[in-house]
Amino acid sequence: MGLFNFFKSKEEKKVKLNRSVSKTSSKIYGGISSIFLGRKKIDEELLEEIEELLISADIGVVMVDAILESVRTESSRGELKDVDQLVASIKKVIVDIINVDVENNNDIQVDNDNDNDNDIDDDNDIQIPYQVLVVGVNGVGKTTTIAKLSNIYKASGYKVLIAAADTFRAAAVEQLTIWSDRIGVDIVTKDEGVDPASVVYTAIERVEKEGYEVLIVDTAGRLHNKVNLMQELLKMEKVASKNNGIGFSEKLLVIDATSGQNAITQAKAFNELIGLTGLIVTKLDGTAKGGVVINIINELRIPVKFICIGETVEDIIPFNAEDFVDAVFSNENLTKENTQ
Ligand SMILES: Nc1nc2c(ncn2[C@@H]2O[C@H](COP(=O)(O)OP(=O)(O)O)[C@@H](O)[C@H]2O)c(=O)[nH]1
Ligand SMILES: [Mg+2]
């Protein structure tokens, strides 16, 4: 079974992406354009302004240094004549850097073969049962993202089970139960306060007995520096591996785009403990800090699998580095923003 027709046309996805990063692209592309206004040549003063802008756009100092080095070289050779050439050159540096080393980890994903067809690559069929653990700090959007993911897999024809291993608060179980009803997927719940590993145990038992193809496990928000909560994740992993020998096919960290450098600290801590297979970046809508996605990939070399752009189940897009960089360096939103 291939994934999927969920994200219909490329055009539709592009419109969605452009819309979702419009604040970021206004800042980045809009900023570059206004630096260029009334100026004819790319000189050191202009480059310094560009440098300042890129740093303020959260794409990371290391990346900005690499960009400036490349742009200075090209500009001294007279290769950059106008704003379009400059932007094209910046985009190329970013895509070249973030596409290295992060491409090979794409079970859940995505049209990474650059053939520009529908998003999820049919060659990357998931191994069944596909068992996904979703982790992250409080309020980043784990539960909402799980709803979105289950909706995608259900719509793609898989038999989906979700597990409410956030037993910390009864409200968390209720929230996931509401989503499961709305989407029409089955759910495993237990009482508040029960060991989350026992929820995982029961869920995997059901996967085995009832033939579920996709299992997605929700967990309680935990601060990466709280040792006992982090140990709890290891216990869930152990139970998962013991139970059907598969363990978790994916360990996804959800991070909030608006949390900036903090997201990187979180990702490092979770990665050291459980070895993440991917990231999902939420709340890109409504922030001008979308550049942080570039910084995150560059610093962590962990693939971003999806980005989330709102609170409904449709507000999720598979991540593709080139498309993303195109969108934040695009003038399409600029015109829209300016005419609003
Ligand atoms: N604007 C926006 N809000 C989001 C997004 N993802 C989640 N949220 C909201 O963030 C809040 C916390 O989400 P929740 O899934 O409960 O986070 P959790 O504590 O990590 O499980 C809720 O109000 C969600 O509707 C997103 O991509 N964009
Ligand atoms: Mg939650």
**Which structural domains are found in the chain, ordered by start?**
10-99 (1.20.120.140), 122-320 (3.40.50.300)
* pLDDT confidence of residue 237: 92
Q: What angle is formed at CA 175 by the lines to CA 171 and CA 179, rounded to 5 degrees?
A: 165
Distance CA 238, CA 220 (A): 17
Atom 14 of ligand 1, nearest CA residue = 141
Nearest to 204 by CA among 297, 129, 144: 129
The predicted pLDDT at position 106 comes to 43
pLDDT tens string, the chain, 340 residues long: the values are 445 555 666 777 788 888 888 889 999 999 998 998 878 788 889 999 999 999 998 899 999 999 999 999 998 888 888 888 899 999 999 999 988 655 544 444 443 344 444 444 444 578 899 999 999 999 999 999 999 999 999 999 999 999 999 998 889 999 999 999 999 999 999 999 899 999 999 999 999 999 999 999 999 887 766 777 788 999 999 999 887 777 899 999 999 999 888 888 999 999 998 999 999 999 999 888 889 899 989 988 899 999 999 999 999 999 999 999 999 998 765 544 443 3
C-alpha to C-alpha distance for 240 and 327, rounded to whole angstroms: 39
Q: How far is the CA of 218 from the centre of ligand 2 (A)?
A: 7
Indicate the burial class of 74 (C-beta count within 10 angstroms; 0-12, 13-18, 19 or more): middle
Asked whether 222 lines ligand 1 (CB < 6 A), one says no
CA distance 259 to 147: 22
Beta-carbon neighbours within 5 Å of ion ligand 2: 142-143, 172
Q: In degrees rounded to 5, what are phi and psi of residue 251?
A: -120, 105
Q: What global pTM score does this model have?
A: 0.88
Residue that the structure tokens 């020998």 belong to: 245
- What is the reported pLDDT for 5? 57
Question: How confident is the model at residue 239, as a pLDDT?
Answer: 92
| E strand or H helix at 321 | helix 321-328
